[in-house]
Amino acid sequence: MVCYMSWKIWKSDKERFYEEFQKGISDRNKGNIDKAIEHFRSAAEIAQRSKDPELIVKGSLATVMVSFYQMLKQPDIASFENLKSSLQELVKLNPDEKLNLALPYEIKASELLQEIDILKDLYSLPRFTLELDSDNPLSKAEKYETVAQKLLSYGRESFLIQDLLKLDKPISIAFRLLAYSRILRAYTIVNEDPGKAIELYSEAMGYLSQSQDQEVANFVKSKLEKTGRATKCWICGRSIQGEDVHFVYLHTELTPYIMKNYGNEAPNLIVEREAKTYVAVCRTCYGSIYHLSDKISNYYYQLAIKALREVEDRLTRQIEELTYKIEELNRIVREELEELNRIVRGLVR
């Protein structure tokens, strides 16, 4: 027993390092990521206290393993930044150092650093939603396009750690980001130039056909159809293009006479939806109707409030009068009862 303890105490730093590092690999292979991280961190601490140049490099490798599996547990901007920093330190010491990440191949630290730099930018992108009325859509569009260009120039068909992060191929992600960029740019310009917006939506459709994002593709298809739809305003007669942007459909009633004489004046002028008839009205006429109806409804609302307040005041006065009468009756009843009690007491005596 004494000899065994002596052997344990006098293990070299290198032996202790590799023991901890291999334990980390073993736990990683078993899926015990938290324990693996603990062993890799312990190995790194052993190496940091050593003056052996080779062990210092291996200690940097252990630090990379710690930050790598922390990133896999929670891939976000902070974890990618941490991994990038540890990789930079390792590459300074040995750019050809290889990492065993439980993949069919080993990865050079310098190659992983290049990839992580791109992935950090990818994961830092704001989330794209079909609710486009967000702050700074042009700024978001530029960010999507910048990362897309990085992905297209990456030069690899697949990411080195694609399977571990369950990512699509770089080119598929790039096309999707370019589509998002075009959608946001179209959204910002459609109020000014629907023709240019159609060009941008069309470009987005082209990118989406290669990235297989069906939900967004259906959204863009709808935008293309509506933005390209042209008609004239039923009220002012002006030609107009861009449903939901420059004109809307209002529910109405049309007689056979009106349909016969005016129904074919322009394409898309009249539509039937769910057994109801609608006519196209430009935003200007619609806005005038809306603001006038709002003014009218507010006028009648104020009248109604005034009438309600008058009723409230009248009811308040009546309640106050009734309350006074009830209190007066209570007073009379109390006095009568007191008088009755005096009479009763007198008779008892």
CB contact burial 235-255 (16+ within 10 A = b; e otherwise)? beeeebbbbebbbbbeeeeee
Q: Which two tokens stand for residue 344?
A: 């009763």
- Left, alpha or beta for 244 (phi > 0: left; psi -120 to 50: alpha)? left
- Left, alpha or beta for 316 (phi > 0: left; psi -120 to 50: alpha)? alpha
Q: Give, for 264, the enclosing helix (H) or strand (E).
A: none
pLDDT, position 349: 66
DSSP track, 2-48: HHHHHHHHT--HHHHHHHHHHHHHHHHHTT-HHHHHHHHHHHHHHHH
Nearest to 104 by CA among 158, 57, 63, 59: 158
pLDDT, position 50: 84
Residues with Cβ within 8 Å of residue 301, at least 6 apart in sequence: none
> CA geometry: angle at 202 spanning 144 and 143, to 5°?
10
Q: Where are the domains of the chain?
A: 10-117, 125-228, 231-348
pLDDT, position 4: 43
Q: One digit per residue, pLDDT tens: the chain, 349 residues?
A: 444 444 445 678 888 999 999 999 999 999 999 999 999 999 999 998 888 888 999 999 999 999 999 999 999 999 999 999 999 999 999 999 999 999 999 999 999 999 999 999 999 999 998 887 767 899 999 999 999 999 999 989 999 999 999 999 999 999 999 999 999 999 999 999 999 999 999 999 999 988 778 899 999 999 999 999 999 999 999 999 999 999 999 999 999 999 989 888 999 999 998 889 999 999 999 999 889 888 888 889 999 999 999 999 999 999 999 999 999 999 998 888 888 888 888 777 6
185-193, Cβ contacts within 8 angstroms, sequence gap of 24 or more:
185/137, 185/138, 185/141, 186/223, 186/227, 187/132, 187/137, 188/137, 188/138, 188/141, 190/227, 190/242, 190/245, 191/245, 191/246
Cβ-contact 259, 253 below 8 angstroms: no
Please tell me the distance from the alpha carbon of residue 279 to that of residue 253, in angstroms, as a whole number.
Answer: 9
Please tell me the distance from the alpha carbon of residue 83 to that of residue 33, in angstroms, as a whole number.
Answer: 16
**pTM, whole model, 2 decimals?**
0.78
Please tell me the distance from the alpha carbon of residue 78 to that of residue 84, in angstroms, as a whole number.
Answer: 10
pLDDT, position 107: 95
What angle in degrees, to the nearest 10, is found between the helix axes of 137-152 and 109-123? 160
Three-state DSSP state, 273? strand
Q: Which two tokens stand for residue 263?
A: 């129904």
Q: What is the 3-state secondary structure (H, E, C) of 186-231?
A: HHHHCCCCHHHHHHHHHHHHHHHHHHCCHHHHHHHHHHHHHHHCEE
pLDDT, position 9: 58
Three-state DSSP state, 166? coil
Three-state DSSP state, 107? strand
State whether CATH 1.25.40 applies to domain 10-117. Answer: yes
Cβ-contact 90, 60 below 8 angstroms: yes
Cβ-contact 282, 246 below 8 angstroms: yes
pLDDT, position 2: 43
Please tell me the distance from the alpha carbon of residue 23 to that of residue 26, in angstroms, as a whole number.
Answer: 5
pLDDT, position 92: 95
Q: Which residue has the tokens 């200007």?
A: 284
Backbone angles phi, psi at 137, to 5 degrees: -60, -35
